[in-house]
Amino acid sequence: MKKAKALITDIVLIDIINFSQLTSSKQLEIVVFLTKSFKKMIEKMLSNSNTPLSKFIIGFVSTGDGFYCILNPRLKGFGAILGLSFNHFSEHIAKKFPYFDGIRIAAHTGEVNEFTDILGSKNFIGDGLNDCARYLEIKNFTISTVMVSDKAYESLNSFLTHHKDFKTLLTQHELQHSSTYTFEDKHGNEKHGCLIWLRKSGIINPPNINYNSIISQRR
């Protein structure tokens, strides 16, 4: 059986703060609401491009207290921007649920492998998922920011080079970034990344591109 090639793409990890301290009923309530709300947000983002959600996000992996969004490789570099949009939307959710303490978000560009799980559904594994999770371990994490790995930041800059209108848009929203963080994860591996945020937050739609093929993006 021929082994499928790994995909190199953006991974965005959403982590609900203090999720384990909530009652089971509140855990269910907030997970259901977040999932439905973020789905509606993304569908609205895609409404002008006639792009189905499944072409924009090729994988959705639950972590129990959050979830991974795996983007179409043709959008490599947009993951950090999507994370900023998630942050903006979560501020409105916090007004609806007093017990909701917000979310932490990490973005990473890495390797994922698709497989079919026991129920016949598409699923993903790979070092990219594990590496992305490590960036939530940083102690100085601040709400309303996105922690981006050095690779995700490089992908973002490359994306902005090819989509200069987005560079202008982020300048208008006053994109900020911290100095570089260097830390060791729980396995003793050195990681590099930085926090990014918008002084003028908002939801930023993805570029209107051809999503039909991801083969050319495989490496």
Domain assignment present for 212? no
Q: How many domains does the structure of the chain reveal?
A: 1
* In a domain? residue 218: no
Residue 213: the pLDDT is: 46
Strands 66-71 and 122-125: what pairing? unpaired
Q: How far apart are CA 54 and CA 66, in angstroms?
A: 19
Neighbours of 106 (CB within 10 A): 29
Query: In this predicted model, what pLDDT tens digit does every residue of 192-216 receive, in sequence order?
Result: 999 999 999 888 999 877 655 443 3
pLDDT band at 131 (very low <50, low <70, confident <90, very high): very high
Q: Is 40 left (phi over 0), alpha (psi -120 to 50) or beta?
A: alpha
pTM of the model: 0.90
What tokens appear for 122 in the block? Answer: 């598409």
Per-residue pLDDT tens digits for 112-130? 999 988 988 888 999 999 9
pLDDT band per the 50, 70, 90 thresholds, residue 3: low
Q: Is residue 145 part of a domain?
A: yes
Handedness of CA 147, 150, 152, 156 (dihedral sign): positive
Q: What is the pLDDT, as a whole number, of residue 214?
A: 43
pLDDT one-digit tens code per residue, 17-53: 999 999 999 999 999 999 898 888 898 888 877 778 8
Q: Report yes or no on 29 lying in a domain.
A: yes
- Residue 87 belongs to some domain of the structure: yes
Identify which has the larger pLDDT, 145 or 210.
145
pLDDT, average across residues 164-169:
94
In a domain, 81, yes or no: yes
Range of the domain at 90: 7-200
* pLDDT for res 210: 63
Task: Render pLDDT for 91-109 as a digit per residue (tens, 0 to 9).
Answer: 778 778 889 988 999 999 9
Write down the mean pLDDT value for the chain.
Answer: 88
**pLDDT value at residue 217:** 39
Tell me, yes or no, whether 2 lies in a domain.
no
C-alpha distance from residue 174 to each of 37, 94, 144, 199 (Å): 26, 23, 14, 5
Please say whether the beta carbons of 88 and 24 come within 8 A: no
pLDDT for res 218:
35
pLDDT at 219: 35
Q: What is the CATH number of the domain that holds 55?
A: 3.30.70.1230
Instruction: Determine the residue type at 113.
Output: N
Residue 46 maps to a domain: yes
Structure tokens at 142: 């601040």
